[in-house]
Amino acid sequence: MDYKEETIAAIATPIGVGGIGIIKISGNNAENIVRKIFRSKQPIKSFDSFRLCLGYIIDPKSKLPLDEVLLSIMRAPFSYTREDVVEINSHSGHTVLSNILQIILRAGARLAKPGEFTLRAFLNGRIDLTQAEAIIDLINAKSDMSVRLAASQLAGGLGTRTEQIRGALIEILARIEASIDFPDEESTVITRSDIAGQINRKILKPIKGLIGAYSQRKIWHEGVSVAIVGRVNVGKSSILNRFLQEERAIVTPIPGTTRDILEGMVNIEGLPLRLIDTAGIRKVKGKVEKKGVDLTRTQLTLADLILLVIDRSRPLNQHDLNLLSEVDKKTAIVVINKIDLPARLSEKRINSTFKHLPKISVSALTGEGFKNLNKAVFTKVMDKKIGVSPTSIVPNLRHKTALNKAATFSENASTNIMNGFPLETVAADLSWAKDALDEITGNKISEEILDNIFSRFCLGK
């Protein structure tokens, strides 16, 4: 059946006890259904769009009121789905909500699938596919920055950029096609190098920019992982606790206190950091210790950033030097801890050993130096270009796959036109590139992919 003939309904608020619960209905039949099950407190002739109306949900069978509710109608096309939408604010509590929903279903609605309201917003042309995906991201966002990125995508950032590239592509395609159809007309003559230049500049370059931004996505959604490593007792757990401003990890003077991986999230200027405290590196004795040190070594390769901690109140030893040789110099910051204690490690020695690494002196005990450490971490992340500004357009994996496809076809077109291939071949490549861009916004998309995207939504959205 055509979706336009079906009116759907679902509970939009999470299960559980709360102040209010919301039930949503969308479709042509929404208002009819409401007329069967709702009795207004003040007599009304017709519902005004976007106006709250106080009344009762009445069970049509028993004629008894089920709940006192606030009801609103948002008439098409000015609604979330661009269909007639009704929202019922009832008291929360699962039984009340599901009883009301049952009555609505009996009155002619069908239970909505997860994401079906948003699917309709897409099918009815109110949003493109990137915006629908932004709604899922927004719901699942775990940091300020991922909220901002999702909001910018919801506002149409990625969709607009994709449409711009697509527009340029269609223009180039039109010029090639005109020259195929009317090869002898002066107005349609093209130079191959000119077309190749335009493909590179107007299509490939912006596409590659977008692909490059993909790596930033993980950072903003999951946080930059920062492993705190060092030999035993240098103060790694104390540093974690100081960052988190709580006693998350056990701190003792006994070497080898931490044996497992401990994590905590912090935010530095909106940048989410996943801090990872590790077991100190030393000569291991038992199985548990060995496991702990192995886990530390894994973190060395997995983490986006390493804080290599040393203890200034003791001389360096072989474990410090071994660790230094294991860290990737591009991603490490040396944290010189315990500066509140008398130094037994000279600045000269530190500078010569950790030559090309940024160094920050701190005391996990007093908190001295942590402002600088925050700054250094932030700068390092930004320098590594793993950070983005809040206005960035950051594609997800699905978009990136499509962009890669579009880039490959455009690259073929650009090389082929320079190598004297028939213009028909070049045009075919460009039109495949266009299809790939259409997958991003959903101009052209398979049912399967749509199902896949919308099944990630929660019920009632």
Compare residues 89 and 233 and give the one whose CB is closer to ligand GTP.
Answer: 233
Asked whether position 258 contacts Mg ion by CB under 5 A, the answer is yes
Asked whether position 149 contacts ligand GTP by CB under 6 A, the answer is no
Compare residues 71 and 307 and give the one whose CB is closer to ligand GTP.
Answer: 307
In the complex, minimum distance from the CB of residue 228 to Mg ion, in angstroms, rounded to a whole number? 9
In the complex, minimum distance from the CB of residue 238 to Mg ion, in angstroms, rounded to a whole number? 8
In the complex, minimum distance from the CB of residue 250 to ligand GTP, in angstroms, rounded to a whole number? 7
Give, in order, the Cα–Cα distances in Å from 59 to each of 32, 33, 34, 65.
15, 12, 12, 6
Interface with Mg ion in residues 221-240 (CB under 5 A): 236-237
Asked whether position 238 contacts ligand GTP by CB under 6 A, the answer is yes
Q: How far is CA 22 from the centre of its chain?
A: 26
DSSP-derived letter for residue 76 is T
Angle between helices 116-123 and 447-454 (to 10 degrees): 140
Compare residues 120 and 236 and give the one whose CB is closer to Mg ion.
Answer: 236
Which of 214, 215, 256 is CA-nearest to residue 233? 256
Compare residues 31 and 289 and give the one whose CB is closer to ligand GTP.
Answer: 289
Q: How is residue 155 written in tokens? A: 């506002």
Among 237, 361, 412, 416, binds ligand GTP (CB under 6 A): 237
Long-range contacts of 142-147 (CB under 8 A, 24+ apart): 142/221, 142/222, 142/223, 142/272, 143/220, 143/221, 143/223, 143/267, 143/270, 143/272, 144/267, 144/270, 144/272, 145/220, 145/270, 145/271, 145/272, 145/390, 146/220, 146/221, 146/272
Within 10 Å of residue 338's Cβ, how many Cβ atoms? 25
Asked whether position 369 contacts ligand GTP by CB under 6 A, the answer is no
Q: Is 150 helix (H, G, I), strand (E, B) or coil?
A: helix
Dihedral sign for Cα atoms in the order 400, 263, 226, 319 = negative
Asked whether position 261 contacts Mg ion by CB under 5 A, the answer is no
Asked whether position 258 contacts ligand GTP by CB under 6 A, the answer is yes
Which of 282, 298, 166, 153 is CA-nearest to residue 230? 282
In the complex, minimum distance from the CB of residue 376 to Mg ion, in angstroms, rounded to a whole number? 21
Region of 72-80, 234-242, 396-404, 431-439 interacting with ligand GTP (CB under 6 A): 234-242
Region of 69-77, 210-218, 361-369, 379-387 interacting with ligand GTP (CB under 6 A): 361-369
Among 235, 387, 395, 442, binds ligand GTP (CB under 6 A): 235
Q: Which residue is nearest to ligand GTP (CB)?
A: 280
Binding site for Mg ion (CB under 5 A): 236-237, 257-258
Binding site for ligand GTP (CB under 6 A): 230, 232-238, 251-253, 255-258, 280, 337-338, 340-341, 363-365
